[in-house]
């Protein structure tokens, strides 16, 4: 699938075919995509555990629920639990030196092993490691980048997914999650019950409300010709709700015995 169409197809799916399992190889594609995400200092910010819904006891599945994560856990056949690795500063110095050895960070730009040892370690890595807010803030952004790539990869593989908040009080012990893995999000993955369209692209504010050119007072002006090109390339698609959305939901509810 073309990149723009993948971006356009992505939307948070909450209605899955609960009986249609996700192929392990597709999960691997998602993890490989996450592993290729851009990251500062080439460090490892993210951890993920994949489990199939039906491999968890009902009690454990229930323990994941919270106010915004409910039936979703019953409908999605596969869960990817994402964590922020708060020990990411460890080994980062070596990874930076590796980038120098690989000709990625070069002397022309000031890079040398001595610079990493003498300057970067003290002024960057130690500062992050010693400041909880910075450590978490940076970890969250970096983990988010990886998660976003896995998410897009899922759609490229014809899957649907949704990120959710989850309660990790019981699951941590059950899955031997180390203390320094901070809970991020649970990604619920499966095949969308209502097709790729799934009710249409979710509403967004116009570009100019959040993006600017030159200064923060000058909203970015959207060019209709670009919009037309992106519509053609399917990055921009039919907005929600599609005409028969509520009928589809009703049918889905009837099929699985759910309230309207």
Partner 1 sequence: MSNDFTVDSLMPTAEVQRWLASAKLDNQPEIEQTSRVRLLADFCNARGESPTDMIARVLRGGEEDGQYEIAIKGRRELDAAIDAWGDDLGVTLHQNITAGNVLRSFFIHNGVQMQGRPSL
Ligand X SMILES: Cc1cc2nc3c(=O)[nH]c(=O)nc-3n(C[C@H](O)[C@H](O)[C@H](O)COP(=O)(O)O)c2cc1C
Residues that bind partner 1 (CB under 8 A): 18-19, 65-67, 70-71, 74-75, 167, 246, 253, 256-260
Instruction: Please give the size of the binding site for ligand X, defined by CB under 6 A.
Output: 10
Q: Which residues contact 99 (CB under 8 A, 6 or more apart)?
A: 42, 105, 111
User: Tokens 């993948």 label which residue?
Assistant: 6
Cβ proximity to ligand X: between 43 and 64 the closer is 64
Question: Smallest distance from the beta carbon of 83 to partner 1, in angstroms?
Answer: 19
Closest distance of CB 106 from ligand X, Å: 36
Residues within window 165-194 making contact with ligand X, judged by CB under 6 A: 165, 185
Site for ligand X in 4-23 (CB under 6 A): 11-12
Given its phi and psi angles, is residue 158 left (phi above 0), alpha (psi -120 to 50 degrees) or beta? left
Give the one entry of partner 1, ligand X, none that residue 259 binds, where binding means its C-beta sits below a cut-off of 5 to 8 angstroms depending on kind: partner 1
Q: Is 235 in the site for ligand X (CB under 6 A)?
A: no
Q: Which residue has the tokens 């994941």?
A: 64
Nearer to partner 1 (CB atom), residue 220 or residue 256: 256
Dist. CA 135–CA 137, nearest whole Å: 6
For residues 190 and 75, is the Cβ–Cβ distance under 8 A? yes
152 makes contact with ligand X (CB under 6 A) = no
Q: Cβ of residue 167: shortest distance to partner 1, in angstroms?
A: 8
Decide which of partner 1, ligand X, none touches 74; Cβ closer than 5 to 8 Å per partner kind.
partner 1
**Among 80, 125, 159, 162, which residue interacts with ligand X (rule: CB under 6 A)?**
162
**Binder of residue 246, out of partner 1, ligand X, none (CB less than 5 to 8 A by kind):** partner 1
Q: How far is the CB of 13 from ligand X (least distance, A)?
A: 8
Distance between CA atoms of 226 and 205, rounded to whole angstroms? 17
Which does residue 71 touch among partner 1, ligand X, none (CB within 5 to 8 A, set by kind)?
Answer: partner 1
Name the residues that contact ligand X, by CB under 6 A. 11-12, 68-69, 162-165, 185, 202
């Amino acid at each position: 699938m073309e990149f723009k169409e993948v971006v356009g197809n992505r939307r948070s799916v909450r209605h899955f075919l609960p009986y249609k399992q996700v192929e392990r190889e597709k999960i691997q594609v998602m993890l490989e995509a996450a592993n290729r995400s851009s990251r500062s200092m080439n460090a490892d910010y993210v951890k993920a555990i994949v489990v199939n819904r039906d491999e968890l006891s009902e009690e454990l599945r229930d323990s994941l629920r919270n106010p915004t994560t409910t039936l979703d856990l019953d409908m999605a056949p596969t869960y990817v639990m994402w964590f922020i690795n708060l020990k990411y500063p460890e080994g980062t110095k070596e990874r930076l030196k590796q980038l120098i050895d690989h000709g990625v960070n070069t002397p022309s730009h000031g890079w040398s092993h001595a610079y990493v040892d003498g300057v970067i370690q003290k002024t960057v890595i130690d500062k992050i490691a010693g400041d909880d807010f910075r450590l978490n803030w940076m970890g969250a952004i970096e983990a988010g980048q990886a998660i976003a790539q896995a998410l897009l990869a899922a759609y490229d593989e014809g899957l649907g997914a949704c990120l959710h908040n989850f309660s990790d009080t019981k699951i941590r012990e059950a899955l031997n999650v180390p203390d320094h893995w901070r809970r991020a999000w649970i990604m619920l993955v499966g095949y969308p019950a209502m097709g790729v369209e799934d009710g249409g692209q979710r509403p967004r504010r116009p570009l100019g409300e959040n993006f600017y050119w030159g200064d923060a007072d000058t909203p970015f002006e959207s060019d209709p010709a670009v919009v037309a090109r992106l519509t053609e390339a399917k990055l921009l698609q039919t907005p929600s709700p599609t005409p028969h959305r509520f009928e589809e939901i009703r049918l889905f509810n009837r099929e699985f015995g759910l309230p309207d």
